Amino acid sequence: MGRQLGSPEVWQDQKRSQSLQQSKKRLERDVQFLSALYQKKEDVDVLLELAKEGENVDKDFDLALAAFGKHLEEAELQTLYYEVDDPRNAILTIHPGAGGTESQDWASMLMRMYLRYAERKGYKTEILDMQPGEEAGLKSATIRIEGDYVFGNLSQETGVHRLVRISPFDANKRRHTSFVAVFVYPEVDEDIEIKVNPDELRIDTYRAGGKGGQHVNTTDSAVRITHIPTGIVVQCQNERSQHKNKASAMKVLKARLYELERKRKLEKVELLEDSKTDIAWGNQIRSYVLHPYKMVKDTRTRLETGDTDRVLDGDLDDFIKASLVLRKTKPAG
């Protein structure tokens, strides 16, 4: 790889050079990670030898052993990433099911959960599109998330999420059940060519929504793109520039087309898009119960916790790791 990057011909091909540089960074990161793991093991071995010689190293040994154990857990997690798309960035979309304000509010709670998860993990986030609900919550949202193995982690969140609680919008304080669908797509890098025929696109521009006052957008900067052959519709209104919104919308479209083709290659009849029509009971991957008791339970892995506040604040590591373990033991196909 180093020889290829040293070749002048490679640098004349921007896509190829970017792809090689990304691969080089990933390999360098893996080498550094393994070097650190061996170093921490060596620290434990040295302290163990000193202890055998009668030195009082109990405190240092405990610290070194804990550091090695933590790094080893991270190494074990790395073995769970084996899909070619796992290292990629991700495009995450949120769609409330039937239920109006109640489901839309649940959608906004999930959006906050994923933004907090990204913050905890040190990922970068960019809200590409967000359609607010009429009373509260949101009708839909699209978020780009950037970082190491983002898609590998967040792909485990694709599916229907169910909430049970006393509705804050119900004057009679009745219990309500709401459903929201989350879909996660791998962001397409420059090393993957997705051919999109411009003649198969319908591009509409419209005025982006806002809160009024100085935030009112007076130009038709928001962009909606419809891919006619598949019926996929994407939109972006986050930027004030129509050009930037169009570029972001095309990025989302390519991610969704790539995921669609990936599923077809796996010969899956039930494509992700088909499940959007049934965001309801019986299809949830995880239930979040806030009343009459507190419990978050994943229906796939059976993992559960009573600390609902921690989960809704973005602490999803245990659920995602359990799902990755299940994926490796029972790979889809």
Residue 169 has pLDDT above 90, yes or no: no
Task: Report CA 225 to chain centroid distance, whole Å.
Answer: 22
Name the more confident of 145 and 276: 145
Q: Give the tens place of pLDDT for each residue, 26-64.
A: 778 778 888 988 899 999 999 999 988 888 988 999 999
Residue 78 has pLDDT above 80, yes or no: yes
- Contact present, 314 and 111 (Cβ < 8 Å): no
Using a pLDDT cut of 90, give the percent of the chain over it.
60
Rounded average pLDDT over 255-273? 71
CA gap 68, 70 in Å, rounded: 5
Residue 113 has pLDDT above 90, yes or no: yes
pLDDT confidence tier of residue 277, bands split at 50, 70 and 90: very low
Name the more confident of 222 and 193: 222
- The 10 Å CB-count burial string (b at 16+, else e) for 163-183 is bbbebeeeeeeeebbbbbbbb
Q: What is the DSSP string of 82-144?
A: -STTTTS-EEEEEEE-SSTHHHHHHHHHHHHHHHHHHHHHT-EEEEEEEEE-SSSSEEEEEEE
Helices (H), ranges, the chain: 2-5, 8-12, 14-52, 58-78, 101-121, 150-154, 242-265, 308-312, 317-329
Q: In this predicted structure, what is the pLDDT of residue 76?
A: 85
Least confident of 38-47, 241-250, 273-282, 323-332: 273-282
CA gap 158, 179 in Å, rounded: 13
CA gap 200, 197 in Å, rounded: 5
Name the more confident of 250 and 171: 250
Q: In this predicted structure, what is the pLDDT of residue 159?
A: 94
CA gap 28, 31 in Å, rounded: 5
pLDDT confidence tier of residue 326, bands split at 50, 70 and 90: very high
Residues 6+ apart with CB under 8 A from 309: none
Residue 250 has pLDDT above 90, yes or no: yes
Q: In this predicted structure, what is the pLDDT of residue 14?
A: 60
CA gap 54, 67 in Å, rounded: 23
Q: And the tokens for 40? A: 């921490």
Rounded average pLDDT over 310-314? 98
With CA atoms as reference, report the closest residue to 82 among 149, 176, 134.
149
Using the Cα atoms of residue 232, residue 230, residue 158 and residue 246 in order, give the sign of their dihedral.
negative
The rounded mean pLDDT for the chain is: 86
Residue 213 has pLDDT above 50, yes or no: no
With CA atoms as reference, report the closest residue to 285 among 157, 183, 185.
157
Q: Phi and psi for 217 in degrees, rounded to 5? A: -95, 120
pLDDT confidence tier of residue 15, bands split at 50, 70 and 90: low
Q: In this predicted structure, what is the pLDDT of residue 329?
A: 87
Q: And the tokens for 176? A: 């309500």
Residue 217 has pLDDT above 60, yes or no: no
Q: In this predicted structure, what is the pLDDT of residue 269?
A: 38
Q: Phi and psi for 100 in degrees, rounded to 5? A: 60, -130
Classify 194 in phi/psi space as left (phi over 0), alpha (psi -120 to 50) or beta: beta
Residue 330 has pLDDT above 90, yes or no: no
Q: Give the tens place of pLDDT for each residue, 118-146.
A: 999 999 999 999 999 989 999 999 999 99
- Contact present, 234 and 247 (Cβ < 8 Å): no
Name the more confident of 98 and 255: 255
